């Protein structure tokens, strides 16, 4: 996204998302000594990323395939190429760094199912490892969405002729309701579902979580085909979304039922979706300090997401473990400084150059 085409509201959403993720992980330095340090779990930064990603990619998808009114193989390959050149180089770089990190710590380390990571299968139908490159679970959800949604739309095109609008809407509705029904039917088989099982069997699993991205696609659909309504109610919808997220904050800590666990991300996605009409049209003309900071964090957010926990947090926690509250505070600030600094270097000298390759004609 060029400087001219950047939208402040969406950059702000991306910035808030990555800050929430880092706050969640970084607080682990402080909680042993400051147990009352605030927990912002009720607003899931990953849910923000998922909905925003679905919205942006959904708009690209709809506009691209609406040009021809069909799903041509060359268009699908071009779509995949642009997505993969945006996401895969960084992922494989950080995956390699994680392997080096683990090897240096223990030359005899053995990660069960390591082969699954390059193929994004580590959490396809169940989370298989909680201790290695934990952030990668959400990348698996994203990558399977990029791969699967176009294929699903092609299959639907055999039944819904020459109507990209109807195909996208049908695919979106089927995925959303199919995921909700599947989660609740299977979740009801677990009496008193504990948090660990919920995460391992449902929340971080591709086949049960891809609908979180598709809510963003629904937003893209509405913004393109029903733009008047999308814009007319944007102020009321963002109020609804913010109040809804506040509702989750109030009730999530005491809501332990299976039903709530199975549908928490549904509620979260709906409330986040409600903020998009306002945020997707919110721009700031002046190049003030707030705008510059938000844009900067937004640009490096992908690298921040990939390195903040498995690399930065673990490295500090292993080689500079806190023995006092003072040291914990120091580690917390080191965590933020190192995460932002190294993310900028990765973005500047690796992410940007590799992303630029997707526009080279020599690459298939």
pLDDT tens digits for range 278-331: 999 999 877 789 999 999 999 999 999 999 999 999 999 999 999 999 999 999
> Which portions of the chain are predicted below pLDDT 50?
2-3, 362-364
- What pLDDT shows up at residue 40? 61
**Residue 73, CA distances (Å) to 66, 77, 166, 219, 348 in order:** 14, 6, 20, 25, 33
pLDDT tens profile 122-165: 999 999 887 889 899 999 999 999 999 999 999 999 988 778 99
8 A C-beta contact, residue 267 and residue 308: no
DSSP string, 189-252: TSTT--HHHHIIIIIT-HHHHTHHHHHHHHHHHHHHHSHHHHHHTHHHHHHHHHHHHHHHHHHG
- What pLDDT shows up at residue 363? 42
8 A C-beta contact, residue 26 and residue 313: yes
10 Å Cβ neighbour count for 221?
Answer: 22
Q: How far apart are CA 121 and CA 118, in angstroms?
A: 8
- What pLDDT shows up at residue 359? 67
- What pLDDT shows up at residue 35? 84
Tokens of 346: 């990765």
**Residue 200, CA distances (Å) to 51, 123, 124, 137 in order:** 21, 8, 11, 11
Look up residue 31 and give its DSSP letter: T
Look up residue 129 and give its DSSP letter: -
- What pLDDT shows up at residue 327? 95
């Amino acid at each position: 996204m060029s400087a001219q085409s950047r939208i402040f509201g969406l950059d702000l959403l991306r910035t808030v998302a990555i800050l929430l993720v880092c706050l969640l992980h970084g607080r682990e330095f402080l909680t042993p000594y400051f147990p009352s340090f605030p927990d912002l779990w009720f607003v899931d930064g990953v849910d923000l990323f998922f909905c925003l990603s679905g919205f942006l990619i959904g708009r690209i998808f709809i506009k691209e395939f609406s040009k021809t009114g069909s799903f041509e193989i060359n268009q699908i390959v071009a779509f995949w190429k642009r997505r993969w050149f945006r996401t895969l180089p960084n992922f494989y770089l950080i995956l390699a760094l994680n392997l080096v990190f683990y090897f240096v710590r223990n030359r005899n380390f053995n990660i069960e199912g390591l082969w699954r990571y390059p193929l994004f299968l580590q959490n396809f139908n169940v989370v298989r490892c909680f201790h290695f490159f934990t952030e990668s679970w959400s990348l698996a959800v994203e990558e399977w969405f990029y791969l699967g949604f176009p294929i699903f739309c092609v299959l639907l095109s055999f039944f819904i002729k020459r109507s990209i609008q109807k195909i996208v809407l049908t695919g979106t509705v089927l995925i959303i309701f199919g995921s909700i029904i599947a989660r609740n039917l299977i979740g009801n088989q677990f009496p008193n579902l504990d948090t660990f099982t919920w995460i391992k069997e449902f929340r971080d699993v591709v086949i049960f979580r891809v609908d979180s991205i598709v809510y963003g696609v629904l937003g893209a659909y509405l913004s393109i085909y029903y733009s008047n309504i999308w814009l007319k109610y944007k102020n009321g919808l963002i109020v609804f979304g913010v109040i809804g997220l506040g509702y989750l904050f109030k009730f999530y800590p005491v809501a332990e039922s299976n039903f709530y666990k199975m549908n928490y991300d549904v509620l979260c996605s709906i409330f986040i979706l409600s903020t998009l009409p306002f945020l997707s049209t919110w721009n700031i003309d002046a190049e003030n300090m707030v705008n510059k900071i938000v844009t900067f964090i937004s640009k490096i957010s992908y690298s921040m997401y990939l390195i903040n926990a498995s690399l930065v947090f673990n490295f500090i926690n292993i080689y500079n473990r806190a023995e006092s509250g003072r040291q914990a505070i120091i580690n917390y600030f080191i965590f933020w400084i190192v995460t932002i600094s190294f993310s900028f270097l990765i973005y500047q000298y690796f992410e940007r150059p590799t992303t630029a390759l997707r526009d080279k004609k020599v690459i298939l």
